[in-house]
Amino acid sequence: MNYKLLFPTYRNRYLFIRENLKKYGTAKPFASALNLGTGEGDYDPMIAGFCQQVTACDINENDIAFAKSMNAHIANLLYKKEDALNLAFPANSFQLLTSVDVMEHVGKPKRMTEEIARVLAPGGLGFITFPQINFPWTYDPINRLMGRRAIAQGAYAFGHEYLVNPVEFRQWAAQYGMEVLEEKNLSGHLIALLEMYWTGLIQRLFKENAGNVSGQKEKAVKLRPSVKEPAMTLLTDAIIKIDFFFFGKSKYSVGKGFVVRKKS
């Protein structure tokens, strides 16, 4: 069971990718796709269903090994170790690029945006999410009150040293020849309140790669996902709909989802 899908913030990102795969990839499958920062590979089966060929990459070798084992039955899926700031792929390689909450880990988000634009083919699409700097106070009142990363929890849990400014991301995308087609808030004040602090603590205790970096010591007790969707995600989806109804247009959200297209 993919336990992560029970967390509204995670589920929200998953639904954002799924909705846009259906919107842009149903009529005609993408010829080639890159999942940049695949992590444990739990998005890859879904992405592969809309593409002729998918390359999933990450800098963490242990995560790649787990993802490769879990998804060994998927014929059109290839795994590679890659650095998001220096991708080995030629320019114009992919019709689709997905990247789910990776940009806040690489140290140079603008450089990563440049690499995304380089490897996308003209007319190619990018589905990108990241935790944003304008997070709700209900998610992390301590760091919001301090106006900086005072504690490594809340918005700055999960190995986050910094958060991404969506205004800057729009500027980077334009600088490197990409236009923004869609922008969506992912998780407002209600979801933020429900996940205040405790999800970061759970990840630190039990997630194998809690800091989302390479070379971490293996945990004695760890949680790994499968591809099965829990029945209780129906409740999670209901929470997401209520949250978006009330806070979907707010300036504040835990994360942002963008659909970008490389200009021809």
Q: How confident is the model at residue 211 (pLDDT cuts 50, 70, 90)?
A: low
Instruction: Tell me what pLDDT residue 208 has.
Output: 65
pLDDT tens column, 111-134: 999 999 999 999 999 999 999 999
Cβ contacts of 63 within 8 Å, gap of 6 or more: 38, 39, 40, 41, 208, 209
8 Å CB contact between 73 and 98: no
For the chain, counts of helices (H) and of strands (E): 9, 7
Between the alpha carbon of residue 261 and those of residues 80, 88, 124, the distances in Å are: 24, 21, 6
8 Å CB contact between 34 and 119: yes
Give me the CATH topology for the region 3-262.
Rossmann fold (3.40.50)
Q: How confident is the model at residue 206 (pLDDT cuts 50, 70, 90)?
A: low
CA distance 63 to 209: 8
pLDDT tens column, 31-74: 999 999 999 999 999 999 999 999 999 999 999 999 999 999 99
Strands 30-36 and 178-186: unpaired
With a cut of 70, say whether residue 24 has pLDDT above it: yes
8 Å CB contact between 173 and 263: no
Task: Encode burial over 141-180: b for 16+ CB neighbours within 10 A, e otherwise.
Answer: eebbeeeebeeebbbbbbbbeebbbbeebbebbeebbbeb
With a cut of 60, say whether residue 210 has pLDDT above it: no
8 Å CB contact between 156 and 149: yes
Instruction: Tell me what pLDDT residue 191 has.
Output: 98
- Mean pLDDT (the chain) is 93
Instruction: Tell me what pLDDT residue 215 has.
Output: 56
With a cut of 60, say whether residue 239 has pLDDT above it: yes
Instruction: Tell me what pLDDT residue 205 has.
Output: 66
8 Å CB contact between 119 and 88: no
Q: What is the DSSP letter of 6?
A: G
Residues 211-232, mean pLDDT to the nearest whole number: 65
For 155-195, give the DSSP string. Answer: GG-TT-S--B-HHHHHHHHHHTTEEEEEEEEE--HHHHHHT
Residues 151-161, mean pLDDT to the nearest whole number: 93
